Amino acid sequence: MIKKLLLLLILIPGFSMAQISFTSGNSALVNASLYSGVAIGVTDMNGDGLDDIIRLDNASSLEIEYQNTNGNFTRFNYGSTGGSKWGLAIADVDRNGFNDLLTGGSYNGLKLYTANSNGTDYNSTTLTFNIFVQNLNFADIDNNGTIDIFACHDVGLSKAFSNDGNGIMTENNGLINAVSTIPSDNSGNYGSIWIDYDNDDDLDLYISKCRLGVSNPNDGRRVNLLFENDGNNNFSEVGPARGLVPLAQSWSAAFEDIDNDGDLDCVLINHDITSMIFENDGTGNYTNITAASGIATSLDNLNDGGIQVIMEDFDNDTFIDIFVTTRNGIHKLYKNDGDKTFTELPNPFPLPFGANRIQSAAVGDLNNDGFVDVMAGFASGYNGPSSSRPDRLYFNTGNSTNNWSEILLEGTTSNINGIGARIEIYGAWGKQIREVRSGESYGIMNSLKTHFGLGTANAITKIVVKWPSGNVDELLNPTINQSLNIREGSTLSTINPDSISKLRMFPNPATNFVTIETANRNSDVSYTMYDISGKVLRANQALPLNKQISLQSLTSGIYMLALQIDGETVMRKIIKK
């Protein structure tokens, strides 16, 4: 009753509340007549800290509009990618300071576009033609400090590619063998997302499965998969045990903390049954709370058309909201009420067209004001660019009394984008968490800059960054209402960050030994080794002349090295295979 009353009040002229609303920003674009397919991206491409817009005109021709400090954009047209593309992911695979792109479509080439040394052009490499890409992710699957690739394959087993450290990718399904638990041809892989669902500081993988025309809900081609990482990069499928297999035609999923209790909850888009909200109990077990969410009927009315699900705090009130796009219905924006219930907001996006459907979208801060904006497309079906409704940029005009913080990471030991890192912020609201991801939902790329709403709180007590390497940085009493850059190790140790970035440890994972290379080959290096419990196994050992540390006497597992380099200390995580 209260929700209905509030909804009626919102519709009364002159009444206002902390609602989420948007206004058209197309006048800031250079190309306001571009027609995207499903794949859209928003993230910083040129290293200036400002989110840029990455689109594929007619689902094929790559254009980037770079955000300028004056609020407008500068456009570069990089030309055809060779056919209609369904997936997009972005990361700096070769650590040259400029982000690279990954695209793929229906057997027309999984292509990696690497930026040149000044970020002004791209060189393309076709990794394989033997794949029908639905979704793409960059993730450090083996946690060795380099960014790998995971590509959802619509009609067969999904593919993984390992990075040699210089951006050269090699197909390697030994990274993860994402096979169906029910024997099948392993097709039906649609949405994929890498997350730490069980709070054990390693990456797990969830795949939304859908196979059109398959009516048996127990068919392996449409049974969702949750691969749990044991910390040694061994993956086991645990979806049924964790409660995340609804036996539906599932399209995409998002994982965020809807109740600020420190774990990742899930919103799952289904096409043959009601889309669902799942609550994490803190140990990685999930319960379907859709019926009590306040939006069960609305989710049911997506009419088999949900495409993207995006979760962000659009009004900066400290609670994650839900945005759903559709192929044949009406897009939905649900405001988080703060008690695990949501309210559907009426018409938050001004639409200039006859139809009121946003088909695909990506999000980030596109005018650098601390509010999450939306780059929206109006394609038809699953990936059919519109011929009459060009994309539209929506600037968020939300509650300006609410404060915010945005955080961009730079990994040193970890991958340079900090993909896979967990960020925690503490303050009057308690605790909020975010993860850094590349490639989300179904074919889209949201900003690598994590966004937090602070509500009316005027301070953050501390920010904690848990890096994939095992390093932990803490920043006390940071300034609010600004974008912060946090470099790995900047609060962890006294070693020069430039020295950290030039320190190499390889291979990792390793079987017999790891090699340590420092910026200065004449550096004095010693190490102390710990097991995962913190027990000292080797204390103050000099690095051998061959720079190799033997692992032969160790059992498989995770170990930590405290490296003393010219009197300064840095931590490294080793995985022994």
- Asked whether the bond before 507 is cis by omega within 30 degrees of 0, the reply is yes
User: What pLDDT does 391 receive?
Assistant: 95
For every residue of 88-154, which 3-state class applies, written as one string?
A: EEEECCCCCCCCEEEEEEECCCEEEEEECCCCCCEEEEEEECCCEEEEEEEECCCCCCCCEEEEEEC
Residue 2: CB atoms within 10 A of its CB come to 8
- Show the beta-strand stretches assigned E in 241-389: 250-256, 265-270, 276-280, 286-288, 306-312, 321-326, 332-336, 342-344, 360-364, 373-377
Range scoring the smallest mean pLDDT among 79-93, 306-320, 432-446, 523-537: 523-537
For residue 58, what are the contacts with CB-CB under 8 A and spacing of at least 6?
A: 35, 37, 84, 385
DSSP type of residue 252: E
* Strand, helix or coil for residue 560: strand
Residue 3 pLDDT grade (very low, low, confident, very high; cuts 50, 70, 90): very low
Burial class (CB in 10 A: 0-12, 13-18, 19+), 496: middle
Residue 11 pLDDT grade (very low, low, confident, very high; cuts 50, 70, 90): very low
- The answer, yes or no, to whether residue 497 has pLDDT greater than 50, is no
User: What pLDDT does 532 receive?
Assistant: 65
User: What pLDDT does 4 receive?
Assistant: 43
- The answer, yes or no, to whether residue 501 has pLDDT greater than 60, is no
Range scoring the smallest mean pLDDT among 91-100, 174-183, 246-255, 494-503: 494-503
Is 535 in contact with 528 (CB distance < 8 Å)? Answer: no
| Digit-coded pLDDT (tens) for 43-52 | 999 999 999 9
Return mean pLDDT, the chain.
Answer: 91
- The answer, yes or no, to whether residue 265 has pLDDT greater than 60, is yes
**Torsion of the alpha carbons at 500, 504, 508 and 511, rounded to the nearest 10:** -130
User: Could you identify the residue written with the tokens 């969702």?
Assistant: 224
User: What pLDDT does 493 receive?
Assistant: 41
* Strand-pair partners of 538: 529
Minimal CA–CA distance to 262: which of 432, 450, 500, 435? Answer: 432
Domains of the chain as residue ranges with CATH: 22-396 (2.130.10.130), 403-493 (2.60.40), 501-576 (2.60.40.1270)
User: What pLDDT does 522 receive?
Assistant: 75
- The answer, yes or no, to whether residue 368 has pLDDT greater than 90, is yes
- The answer, yes or no, to whether residue 334 has pLDDT greater than 90, is yes
| Digit-coded pLDDT (tens) for 197-239 | 999 999 999 999 999 899 999 999 999 999 999 998 999 999 9
User: What pLDDT does 5 receive?
Assistant: 40
Assigned token pair, 384:
């059919």
| Digit-coded pLDDT (tens) for 145-164 | 999 999 999 999 999 999 99
CA atoms of 100 and 419, how far apart (whole Å) = 14
For residue 89, what are the contacts with CB-CB under 8 A and spacing of at least 6?
A: 101, 102, 136, 137, 138, 149, 438, 439, 445
Strands ordered across the beta sheet of 85-91:
85-91, 100-105, 110-115, 122-128
User: What pLDDT does 355 receive?
Assistant: 60
Q: Is the dihedral of CA 487, 489, 490, 494 positive or negative?
A: negative
Percent of the chain with pLDDT over 70: 94
User: What pLDDT does 353 receive?
Assistant: 65
User: What pLDDT does 569 receive?
Assistant: 74
Residue 14 pLDDT grade (very low, low, confident, very high; cuts 50, 70, 90): very low
Q: Which helix (H) or strand (E) holds 575?
A: strand 568-576
Assigned token pair, 55:
């689109």
- The answer, yes or no, to whether residue 6 has pLDDT greater than 80, is no
Residue 271: CB atoms within 10 A of its CB come to 20
Cβ burial 230-243 (10 Å sphere, 16+ → b, else e)? eeebebebbbeebb
- The answer, yes or no, to whether residue 489 has pLDDT greater than 90, is no
* End-to-end Cα distance, the chain: 58
More confident residue, 71 or 439: 439
